[in-house]
Structure 1
Amino acid sequence: MAEKNVFAEFLEQFTPSVVKQDESRTPYLVEHTGELKQAILLASDKGELMLRKFAKRVELRLVGKDVKEAFEEVKAIAWEHEQPLIKPQIRYGMAPSSDAVTIDLSNGEIVQLSAQGVDVLDSIPASNEELYFQRPSFQLPMVTPKLPCIDTKSALAKLRNFINTDTNTFFLLVAYMTYLMAHPKAKGVPYPILMIQGEKGAGKSFFCNNVLRGLLDPSAVSAMAFPKQSDFVLTINGMSLVVIDNLRSLTKRQSDLLCTVATKGTMTKRTLYKTAEVTMFELHSPLVLNGIHDFVKESDLASRCLRVNLEPMKKGNRRPEQELKADLEASMPEIFGALLTLASQALAILPDVEVIHEARMMDYAKWIGALERVWKLPEGKLQKVYEKNVESLMASGMVDDSLTIALTSMVKKLGGKAWKGKPSQLLSKLQEHEDSQYLPKGAAALSAKIKGQESSLNANGIYFKFGRAAERYIMVSDKPLI
């Protein structure tokens, strides 16, 4: 080891402005990159590189065990500093004392987005001095937006060329993209889960990996398979936008987990090397699910989703992917500038917006209402489209389910009348319309499934009323029951 006085000089550099801890007491080194303050995880390759840089300043060479000793000493210093804990953010950030969103372009510039407008800056304002960013190794630079954007309509027309869906869904998608830009994780608002569906040749992967990622969160990591639960929390907290590809089905546990991520929750895990402590991990992130099949079956998850159906390209209209990428790249600054401008305009009028059609994701529904005003659309028009979008997803998720098939057949034979009886009698009745091996195994299981999937069954035109007279009963009808 080098002389003790040199090592002590090395450690003196780790002042409270350089060494920080986050809310889980994980140590970070802060690097001032010019445009922002970057929080680098001490226990990472970047962290080790930073240690070596500090050592080089005092002509100290860290080799072998020296690196581990330096790491432990700096970690101890982080604990000794009495200072506020930080919350490093990825790509989109918001300081506690500010209402402006700061976007890390990772190209030497940042964007400040607020109700007052959009600005491209080369350094973070002093008012955001509490804001720290992380830059994962796979994070790529964003384009510098073309501002001011005078004609958002023309820019959106260019974006439309890369998304083969119907007009109403396109507007909901633009609402989703601007919502994400204006609502970083620090705001704590729920995120609708974007569900991309389409047949082979519909351009799902191009849309997810180039259009969506290119405009919201460029990354060297393309869409991924559903991670194991042990890795899920790391994936969620290590990226700004998570894209899960080629889904065929979701388990009940996976559906519940996705619901938690959309509306924000936590996961606990025993703290390493501790027997009586737990570490809390936040589960909250924008999510994109991509696949051909109807993989959303649970009504609770469907209520949190926005489905975008992509149509296959017509024969003769297909173009090489490299050609599409070149066109997209050329249009990207103008499209990005338009989305930022729309987000700023929506933020300016958002406080005065009233939700006409209530939804599970009320914050997103209100955002749609703000864009209705920006686009001068009839109040509630797009909100109604969103409501129908969710209802359609709920219906399609259960349409092939054996219980739905049996109930549909049953109510059709009722001729508009309501059926009333005990749960066990309903199960017997359903067995007349569907093989019992595909139905719930008992009356309690039947009641539980109906209650759990009631919204989806309602979307398929099947309605229920549970009650108790002398005995428990269920009413079933093809019309809402009061």
Structure 2
Amino acid sequence: MSMIATLSHPKAGKPAAQYVYRDAEGQPVLVANRYVRGEGKFFLPYDVLTGAWSAPEHRPLYRLDHLVAANENRPVILVEGEKCADALAGLGFVATTTFGGAQAAHKADLSPLRGREVIIWPDKDEPGLKYAEGLALTLHRDFDTQPKIIPTSDQVLHKVTYPSGDGLDASLAYPKGWDAADAVAEGWTVGQIKKLAQLATPLAYAKASGEPQAAEPPANDSLFEDIEFWHTPDKRPFASIRREGHWESFALEGGAFKQLLAYAEYRSTGKTPPSARLEDMVRQMVGQALFEGPQRPAFLRIGKTAQGFALDLGTPDWSSVEVTPEGWQHRQAKEPRFRRSHGLAPLPIPVAGSADVGLLRDFVNVGSDADFQLVVGWLLGALRPDGPYPILVLSGEQGSAKSTTTKVLRSLVDPSTLETRSFPGDERDLVIAAQGAHVLAFDNLSRVKPAMADCLCRLSTGGGFATRKLHSDADEVLFQATRPIILNGIPDLAERADLADRAIILTLPTIPESARSFESDFWERFEAARPRILAGLLDAASHALAHSASVRLAERPRLADFARWVTAAEPALDWPEGAFLAAYQANRRESEAVAIDNNMVAALVLQLMQERREWRGTANELIQAIRSRFRAETESAETFPRKPNHFGSELRRVTPLLRRQGVTVEHLREAKERRRIIRLTLGLGEASLGYSLA
């Protein structure tokens, strides 16, 4: 040993450091002499057996005597360089390396690693990764050992050093060549090193060529700071990922998650995964989410919390505003879990103490204070985590700012990169639109077809939709939700009684040319006011959460929960008590009048009942009675159904409307013949006071 300590190369002189390679019995075999010249370093080997300044052809592993003495169930960490092995051994790990680094690893005797659990810790650079892959291939091919390789991306190392994300500077990058010795010098603990080792993954091996393929996809939790798999009640798989100190949630089968996953692996390994492997990774995660993950709801823009609700601001840091009966606060939190569509746009960050809903009056073209209260009420209703929601119908001439008002209102609750859209052609397209937005805004409609009016009604007050999955005849996609809706157009859009029954219908006044604003100026002023308007809405929503349970309505209209919610918020808006309910009931009466005018069956039944207190007969007999009395009005089969079954369906649809006008409709069966009979009765309602088609 004294001879080794006094070694001096004839030209290079005495080394700066020496690393002795020993055989299994602990006898010296090779001395790696380290020299430093300026900023560079080099090694000169000394063969102890021959006394020559050269490396033997067959070289033992470094610290071999310690390796064979260790219990065989202990993992072996294989590093690049003696300094790294000694640093890990100093913490109690079984560690080794090969002499000559990446260029000479093939000359090392790796047989002592046969059957052992081997974890390779490469230097953080390209040569280090090639060294690790070459060793892994040799151990797998020649020694029936399948080692794992530790990932060394900044993201993985950050996860180990800052497990909670606290104090992490996302811009911090570990230097090229960073290794195990650096980790120990920086104060890494045994626990941190064990955690990093747990993130190691095996190499993929080519079956024919014998060349190493790219590493297997890193473990899911090594790609991100943290990841959780879960599924929704309707069995949609999701992942929640911690990135840069905050949580984000993604649908596993969506394109956005696949793009993120591919990028994360690139950051981790320096290589982009092939499409087939990416699909395999996603399928594995889907299985974990569906069969191992917990069940929880995925919210879009507004999510329920224990005390109230949270509003997703749509910002890159995934922050939200939590609203409770005590107030609201801007925060970052994992719960509730939000999902985001491609079209979701950010809301402004509201500032507490700056609230002023009254600023909105300058940006919506309404004709009266009552109409403004209805607009604000609709916005407050749209902030409820659950429906039902009224349908806001805006009509008016050209130049009445219908589209602008629609954009303004939507941008205060659920802004989108697609501010308004044309009306969908069928139920499937409507469901697709509803899956991607909390607020649906349809622009410049000419008419709502009966079938689509039924869909809007279900979407407004809650109902299920079922459609076939694309490219499948067997799989059925179920969708159940309620959504706030805005419709705008020149004509009356709520022609059908059931749609009008769920609507707030406003006719916007025409804006004189001299009073119109420049569009750029208008939106600049609105963007400045938007945070304060939103803060005012949040103040009102908090007040509604605190007091809605104690509100007692003198009348309970359709959508009574919505009416109670807005009524509870009146003090926060400085409205007189009962102001909203009065405006809402007046609007409903106007809507009913419009619905009657647009529905020939309702209008003619009311007119018929002005002449009698009761009418009784079959559907066919009622059709004949109306047609004989109002020939001109019933000429068109499109507006007045002739077939009894179609007429009966339409009569049932307008029954609630007729009841509020004083006409009760009953569908009976006669005792003997069991004929289906319709009975109309005139009570003490508005119809008894007189109704005219004119």
Q: TM-score normalized by structure 2?
A: 0.61
* Partner of residue 58, structure 1: 269
**Against the structure 1 CA distance between its residues 463 and 64, is the aligned structure 2 distance closer, same or farther, given a 3 Å change threshold?**
closer
What is the identity, as a one-letter code, of the residue corresponding to 1:175?
G
**Residue type of the partner of 2:418?**
V
2:304 and 2:360 map into 1 onto residues whose CA distance is 27
Indicate the SS of the match to 1:85: coil
- Please state how far the C-alpha of 1:380 moved relative to its aligned partner: 3.5
Q: In 2, Cα distance between the equivalents of 1:398 and 1:35?
A: 57
Q: Distance in 2 between matches of 1:34 and 1:235?
A: 31
Map 1:390-401; keep pairs closer than 5 Å.
Answer: 390-401=588-599
Partner of 2:342 in structure 1?
137
- Give the distance between the partners of 1:66 and 1:420, measured in 2 at CA: 73
One-letter amino acid of the structure 1 residue matched with residue 351 of structure 2: K
What is the deviation of 1:99?
Answer: 1.6
CA drift of 1:394 comes to: 2.5
| Equivalent position to 1:474, from 679, 682, 694 | 679
Cα distance change of structure 1 residues 312 and 148 upon mapping to structure 2, 3 Å threshold:
same
Distance 1:433 1:178 in 2: 45
Residues 29 and 39 of structure 1 are in contact (CA less than 8 Å); yes or no, is this contact kept in structure 2?
Answer: yes
**Contact persistence 1:7–1:60 (CA under 8 A):** no
2:663 match: 463
Bigger Cα Rg? 2
Q: Tell me what 1:100 maps to.
A: 308
Amino acid at match of 2:284: E
Aligned to 1:72: 283
Q: How far 1:295 moved relative to its partner?
A: 1.9
Give the drift of 1:169.
1.7
Q: How does 1:79-478 map to 2 (within 5 A)?
A: 79=290, 82-95=292-305, 98-107=306-315, 108=317, 109-121=319-331, 123-124=332-333, 129-149=334-354, 155-165=356-366, 166-181=368-383, 183-184=384-385, 188-209=386-407, 211-227=408-424, 228-270=426-468, 278-375=476-573, 379-407=577-605, 410=608, 414=611, 417-418=612-613, 420-423=615-618, 424-431=620-627, 432-435=629-632, 436-438=634-636, 439-442=640-643, 445-457=646-658, 461=661, 463-466=663-666, 472=677, 474-475=679-680, 477=682
> 2:222 maps to which residue?
13
| Structure 2 segments unaligned to the other structure (5+ residues) | 1-203, 206-211, 689-694
Distance 1:58 1:262, change over 3 A: same
Please report how far the alpha carbon of residue 14 of structure 1 lies from its aligned counterpart in structure 2 after TM superposition.
7.2
Alpha carbons of 1:447 and 1:330: their partners in 2 closer, same or farther (altered >3 Å)? same
Verify the 8 A CA contact 2:220 2:227 in the aligned structure 1. Answer: no
| Deviation (angstroms), 1:458 | 5.3
Q: Name the SS for the 1:234 alignment partner.
A: helix
State the Cα distance separating 1:462 from its structure 2 match: 6.4
| Matches of 2:309 and 2:681, distance apart in 1 | 49
Distance in 2, Cα, partners of 1:9 & 1:442 = 67
Higher relative contact order (CA 8 A, sep 6+): 1
Asked if 2 retains the 8 angstrom alpha-carbon contact of 1:261 and 1:284, the reply is yes
Deviation, 1:268, is 2.8
Native 8 Å contact 2:662 2:683 kept in 1: yes
Report Cα offsets for 1:34-61 as digits up to 9, x if no partner: 6752212233332122212331213443
Please give the alpha-carbon distance, in whole angstroms, between the structure 2 residues aligned to 1:393 and 1:130. 40
CA shift at 1:375, angstroms? 4.8
Which whole-Å CA distance do the structure 2 matches of 1:279 and 1:419 have between them? 48
Distance 2:643 2:276 in 1: 64
User: Separation in 2 of the partners of 1:198 and 1:67?
Assistant: 52
d(CA) in 2 for partners of 1:391, 1:35: 53
Q: Deviations over 1:451-478 (max 9, x none)?
A: 321333456x562454768984534658
SS at match of 1:453: helix
Separation (CA, whole Å) in 2 of partners of 1:402 and 1:260: 23
After superposition, give the CA deviation of every residue in 1:47-80 in whole Å (9 maximum; x if it has no partner).
1222123312134431343333333333344345
Matched residue SS, 2:464: strand
User: What is the alpha-carbon distance in structure 2 between the residues aligned to residue 11 and residue 347 of structure 1?
Assistant: 40
CA RMSD of aligned residues (A): 3.1
Which string of whole-angstrom CA distances, capped at 9 and with x for unpartnered residues, describes residues 335-393 of structure 1?
11111111112222112111222122111111132133445655434213212212321
Structure 1 runs (4+) greater than 6 angstroms displaced: 272-276, 467-471
Structure with higher helix content: 1
Q: Which residue of structure 2 aligns with residue 30 of structure 1?
A: 240
Q: Classify the secondary structure of the residue corresponding to 1:18.
A: strand
Q: What's the offset of the Cα at 1:257?
A: 1.2
Q: CA 1:475–1:231 in structure 2 vs 1: closer, same or farther (change >3 Å)?
A: closer
Q: Report if aligned partners of 1:391, 1:456 keep a CA contact under 8 Å in 2.
A: no
* CA distance 1:13–1:280, shift in 2 (3 Å): farther
* CA drift at 1:143: 1.0
Distance 2:298 2:484 in 1: 17
Aligned length: 461
Q: Indicate conservation of the 8 Å contact 2:357/2:532, yes or no.
A: no
- Is it true that 1:48 corresponds to 2:258 in the alignment? yes
Q: Sequence identity of aligned pairs in percent? A: 22
